[in-house]
Structure 1
């Protein structure tokens, strides 16, 4: 395939430049027959001749060979979606093998490596006996991006993903090495940036900067609250207050529709906490809210704004390597929405209750997973 690609390239270059096979042969120092064989795919030039050929046609060697070590953002998005869908229809081993081949071919395309790490992290739970190998592969990819990517944003994201993996394999020291052991004081740089745009009379950019910041901070509050809840599960008063306050944020910004994932995690965590406290009725209330949000999800899933956050969509398309696409395939997401409750040991006592079983049955029906 590569030989044929080179054959087509060299023949096309010669004809486009109005050259004969003799002229190419004389410049490189081979016979006309050799050039003819290159163009028909019967043979390949010696590696030492490639620099001279590339110079002759004013190309890089990569261009001459038809090799593209970088992939565009659009192609990365398309590939990610295709691979996600493959996980839903093919064996993990088959898709994983394909991903490793892609990684080998584009080992210097750091945006792609980062997204392959994200993809593998999302599907690592179904890796079976390959779980440990896949986790190490993710960490290796992240460390390569951290070390060699010149884009600070990519390096930052890679450190965050690696830290998540290190936490999953119970290596907290490495997590602190990657992310630091404290919280930096809030500076409010986004406010300064927005005011700078305002002075430049770029009001739209100023508004987007502040709106995006607010959007991220609100989602951050809910995500942090979910983790903070479990650390206060034995303090009933504080736990209840955290649930009450966070629910007000969710309701105020309609996060069930705006960002259902963070909302579902919060309700799930709350239900788990209530079960640990032996307060089953409160846990059922949280599961009921979880199911209601899950039933309202619109497929296909996209990351989006709403009437209030009306500047989010453009920012998502511009700044996210995956754009607005979901990180996993639709079928896997639907399955996990149900299994998160059904397969969680902490909820086993609730599954004996008709009310809870009926809620899950209705959820299965809504999602088309009967």
Structure 2
């Protein structure tokens, strides 16, 4: 109980309420000396006395002991950002140990468990020999949320994250168990919700509902595109058409500014695809666009709307667990922008070209990673 600062807690509570040690002792049924020892940390009350003490001070037992089983959204965001920065400068084992301790302390705080699973997955690439353990740890956290959380949205997110992990571990059957084996028909619920807000004379909520839906659907299409693109790498004409349409969509909605990560993945995937087609000219063209997008990134990175999606920012702050903050620290993001090219085996033949070497060096300089 020393770690829970029980002594300070009970002394502070008694003084705040203007009570004497005799009054506390009389109510609980112990001596004044016993209360004095509690307040000085020389001894602690019998566990059977805790409910009576908590009742006396009108607190829960957790509050009496100074234990908070839940963490606020704001504190989860701060902790995530702090741990993310630690991964960039401290040994992985040290940060991982702290994460495990936080998980043990807040094992019933499911939003925290979710973000710790996300954090571990975002840094599993630097875990070395612990990578498999990290993936399995994330799966266990997701399964605890799925089985115990009463928040259906959080449980759904945990199931999706577990499916991602299971796919990494090459367990496709489990993925289909979690997510189903097909695509459900589009229901258009957001249109119904928007109309309901209209009937309630809340036009701004109706606008936000539709705008957020458009925003997510656009990013969803761009997120699916790289996988879809690679399905047609052996059909150059179809591959070209997918690249062309995605570029058009990115230009129309200014994706460089709105969600640069989608643009980066599409250009990098396109470069890989063209290399597989032995089309180095187009591969270099895609790399140039990847580097241009990388050099246009404004740090620190935040998720935000723009002049068209002008109702997104408030929704991001309100609904997303990490708010507008990036899921990885700035230095790790910068290094991954470079390693996406330099450590990509499919692109290796291009890296030896003077033109590409110069582009990479310029990117390193722009990002401050010389």
Structure 2-normalised TM-score?
0.98
Q: Deviations over 1:94-128 (max 9, x none)?
A: 00000000000000000000000000000011001
Q: Quick check: 1:26 aligned with 2:26?
A: yes
- Alpha-carbon distance, 1:6 to partner: 1.1
SS of the equivalent of 1:349 reads: helix
- Alpha-carbon distance, 1:314 to partner: 0.5
2:223 maps to 223
Q: Which structure 2 residues correspond to residues 82-231 of structure 1 after superposition, within 5 A?
A: 82-231=82-231
SS of the equivalent of 2:71 reads: coil
Q: Which structure 2 residues correspond to residues 232-271 of structure 1 after superposition, within 5 A?
A: 232-271=232-271
What is the Cα-based RMSD across aligned positions, in Å? 1.0
Q: Deviations over 1:216-269 (max 9, x none)?
A: 111111111111011111011111111111110011111011100011000011
Q: Deviations over 1:15-49 (max 9, x none)?
A: 22232212222222222111101101121112121
Instruction: List gaps (5 residues or longer) in structure 2.
Output: none
2:43 maps to 43
Moved more, 292-301 or 183-192: 183-192
SS of the equivalent of 1:273 reads: helix
SS of the equivalent of 1:119 reads: helix
Q: Deviations over 1:115-147 (max 9, x none)?
A: 000000000110011111111110000000111
SS of the equivalent of 1:27 reads: helix
- Alpha-carbon distance, 1:4 to partner: 6.9
Instruction: List gaps (5 residues or longer) in structure 1.
Output: none
Moved more, 2-11 or 312-321: 2-11
Question: How many positions carry a matched residue from both structures?
Answer: 370
Q: Which structure 2 residues correspond to residues 283-322 of structure 1 after superposition, within 5 A?
A: 283-322=283-322
Moved more, 20-29 or 301-310: 20-29
Q: Which structure 2 residues correspond to residues 45-84 of structure 1 after superposition, within 5 A?
A: 45-84=45-84
CA distance in 1, matches of 2:17, 2:337: 59
Q: Quick check: 1:330 aligned with 2:334?
A: no
- Alpha-carbon distance, 1:173 to partner: 0.4
When residues 22 and 88 of structure 1 are mapped into structure 2, their CA distance, relative to the original with a 3 A threshold, is same
CA distance in 2, matches of 1:338, 1:236: 27
CA distance in 2, matches of 1:47, 1:133: 37
Which aligned segments of 4 or more residues in structure 1 are displaced greater than 4 angstroms?
none
CA distance in 2, matches of 1:306, 1:156: 29
When residues 280 and 4 of structure 1 are mapped into structure 2, their CA distance, relative to the original with a 3 A threshold, is closer
SS of the equivalent of 2:5 reads: helix
Q: Kindly indicate whether the alpha-carbon contact (under 8 Å) linking 2:125 and 2:131 is maintained by their aligned counterparts in 1.
A: yes
Q: Deviations over 1:72-111 (max 9, x none)?
A: 0000001100000110110000000000000000000000
CA distance in 2, matches of 1:4, 1:51: 17
- Alpha-carbon distance, 1:3 to partner: 5.2
CA distance in 2, matches of 1:176, 1:234: 27
Structure 1-normalised TM-score?
0.98
CA distance in 2, matches of 1:336, 1:118: 17
